[in-house]
């Protein structure tokens, strides 16, 4: 006889990539039926898991994580996810409690859910991470104390063995030896527990973002960033300024076609005076920062995975870093990574702080999703060079250094006759480890708007905790604060330079500050 109380229905799991949808299904079903991994986009097609109960049957639909499509495959995956949500009885909307706030992706999903008019259950996942890490830390401390007690007891017993043997009390000595052996066995097991708890704590801590500064404006994305101040008068000339790639071509200074044949899109050849200008700007930026008291450094261009995960989140790593196949090495996306990594597992002397360093390096980035006319030329590329500044300092000094650092970038750009402004980055535009960030944007007279040329960030102790960078103080050791800021990053900076120093005849003015680095050249003249 048919059970009239029996209920059955389809339930879809919707959420951004890596929020834990598959893990939730696995927990509910009681076994691993959905793919789980740290790598994004593990679930590529709808996976159904059926849960049978005496009076009910639930069919779970696990969908691909909703993400900004960066390819045709990405578009298909996102549409699959949304499509699955429309053909179910209930939608489970999963968000990540470790995210600083509801982001743009979450809002897109929510709009789709509202549009579908389906019943919806909100699940806030990973909310227990902070409590879990506190619990593990407590257990880890208890295990360490137990280890200390065991070692103290062992040392005390060991000291008696020689005396007993000297006094001819061999049997008593052997009995104590047996106790010492038992303690050694306990220590082995205790140390295994220490390692286990330490690794679990590390993995959870990697997922918990930094606490944002109270002054950071709240907003879902960069559209909510707040202008702080303008420096220099933005101007619109009464003549047309060509696109930057066209300016460079008229100066016989760029070859994109050859670069595409050699390496593909996102690469370039800089030639002649444009290449010279590129190098001159970097040299000028180097000396500018040295004159500010910073120590010049050329760092490694590759770093190990434990440094990568120490300086950035998994999401940033996946979006930016190139992996060296077959080796535990990554190409740096910015010299900040290897510069901060320099201090990994170090206990710094308080008297030697702050460490203020300016570093040169090539940078390598995937730059996923680079499309549109403003992405042509050298605006968004896979390879570029940059002068960076980093500071490792006392916690009480970091906010003072933050203001100094972005002001140095402003001063440098103004010395090259480029108007700039500063923007306060909102909460939704902050990477996981940043407590506060400020963008420096240069004026584009061609576009009649500002565009980003640098970013200054205070990460407080987030990187130091991950990398074990501590300061030796009078009352014990504590974590340092780390900051980074772009001094200048050509070739993108070249766009601002060329546009703001462009003349109607196609020539480029060289500001006085830069002329010594250009062999005294006052102007770059087109060859045709």
pLDDT of residue 37: 40
pLDDT of residue 127: 66
Q: Which two tokens stand for residue 93?
A: 């909307």
Those residues of the chain that have pLDDT short of 70 are 1-4, 17-20, 22-23, 30-48, 62-86, 97-105, 126-128, 206-207, 314-316, 367-376, 528
Q: Look at residue 372 in the predicted model and tell me its pLDDT.
A: 42
Burial of residue 243, with CB atoms counted within 10 A of its CB: 0-12 exposed, 13-18 middle, 19 or more buried:
middle
Give the pLDDT score at 329.
Answer: 92
Residue 272 is predicted with a pLDDT of: 94
pLDDT of residue 82: 61
Q: In degrees, to the nearest 5, what angle opens at C-alpha 320 toward C-alphas 362 and 265? A: 70
Burial class of 189 by CB neighbour count within 10 A (0 to 12, 13 to 18, 19+):
exposed
Prediction pTM value: 0.69
pLDDT at 375: 53
Q: Can you give the residue ranges of every domain in the chain? A: 7-125, 129-205, 223-516
Q: What is the pLDDT of residue 382?
A: 86
Per CATH, which fold does 7-125 belong to?
Answer: Rossmann fold (3.40.50)
The size of the chain, in residues, is 528
CATH topology for 223-516 is BirA Bifunctional Protein; domain 2 (3.30.930)
Task: Report the relative pairing of strands 90-96 and 119-125 from DSSP bridges.
Answer: parallel
Instruction: Give the pLDDT of residue 41.
Output: 38
How far CA 355 is from CA of 108, 258, 348, 358, 391, in Å, comes to 43, 42, 10, 10, 6
Per-residue pLDDT at 423: 95
3-state helix, strand, coil in the chain (%, to 5): 40, 25, 35
pLDDT value for 402? 97
Q: What pLDDT score does 76 carry?
A: 56
């Amino acid at each position: 006889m048919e059970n009239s109380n029996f209920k059955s229905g389809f339930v879809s799991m919707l959420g951004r990539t890596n929020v834990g949808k598959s893990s939730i299904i696995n927990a509910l079903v009681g076994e691993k039926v959905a793919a789980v991994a740290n790598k994004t986009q593990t679930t590529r097609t709808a996976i159904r898991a059926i849960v049978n109960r005496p009076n009910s049957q639930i069919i779970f639909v696990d969908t691909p994580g909703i993400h900004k499509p960066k390819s045709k495959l990405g578009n298909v995956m996102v549409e699959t996810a949304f499509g699955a949500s429309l053909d179910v009885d209930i939608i489970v909307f999963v968000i990540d409690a470790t995210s600083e706030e509801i982001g743009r992706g979450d809002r897109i999903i929510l709009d789709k859910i509202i549009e579908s008019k389906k019943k919806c259950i909100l699940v806030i996942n990973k909310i227990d991470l902070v409590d879990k890490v506190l619990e593990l830390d407590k257990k880890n401390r208890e295990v360490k104390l137990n280890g200390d007690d065991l070692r103290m007891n062992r040392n005390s017993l060991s000291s008696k063995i020689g005396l007993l043997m000297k006094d001819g009390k061999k049997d008593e000595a052997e009995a104590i030896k047996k106790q010492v052996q038992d303690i050694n066995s306990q220590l082995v097991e205790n140390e295994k527990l220490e390692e286990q708890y330490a690794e679990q704590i590390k993995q959870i801590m990697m997922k918990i973002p930094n606490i944002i500064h109270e002054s950071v404006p709240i907003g879902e994305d960069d559209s909510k960033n707040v202008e702080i101040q303008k420096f220099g008068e933005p101007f619109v000339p009464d003549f047309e300024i060509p696109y930057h790639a066209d300016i460079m071509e008229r100066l016989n200074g760029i070859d994109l076609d050859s670069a595409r044949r050699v390496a593909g899109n996102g690469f370039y050849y800089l030639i002649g005076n444009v290449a010279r200008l590129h190098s001159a700007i970097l040299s000028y930026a180097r000396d500018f920062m040295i004159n500010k008291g910073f120590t010049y450094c050329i760092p490694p261009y590759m770093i190990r995975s434990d440094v990568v995960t120490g300086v950035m989140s998994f999401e940033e790593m996946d979006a930016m870093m190139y992996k060296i196949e077959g080796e535990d090495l990554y190409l740096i996306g910015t010299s900040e990574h290897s510069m901060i990594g320099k201090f990994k597992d170090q206990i710094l002397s308080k008297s030697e702080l702050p460490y203020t360093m300016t570093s040169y390096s090539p940078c390598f980035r995937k730059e996923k999703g680079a499309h549109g006319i403003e992405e042509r030329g050298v605006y968004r590329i896979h390879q570029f060079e940059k002068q960076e500044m980093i500071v490792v300092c006392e916690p009480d000094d970091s906010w003072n250094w933050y203001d100094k650092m972005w002001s140095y970038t402003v001063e440098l750009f103004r010395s090259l006759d480029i108007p700039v402004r500063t923007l306060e980055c909102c909460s939704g535009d902050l990477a996981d480890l940043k407590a506060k960030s400020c963008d420096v944007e240069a004026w584009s007279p061609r576009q009649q708007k500002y565009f980003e040329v640098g970013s200054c960030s205070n990460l407080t102790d987030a990187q130091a905790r991950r990398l074990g960078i501590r300061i030796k103080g009078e009352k014990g050791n504590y974590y340092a604060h780390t900051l980074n800021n772009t001094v200048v990053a050509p070739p993108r900076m070249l766009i601002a330079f060329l546009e703001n120093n462009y003349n109607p005849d196609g020539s480029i003015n060289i500001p006085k500050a830069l002329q010594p680095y250009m062999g005294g050249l006052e102007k770059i003249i087109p060859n045709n």
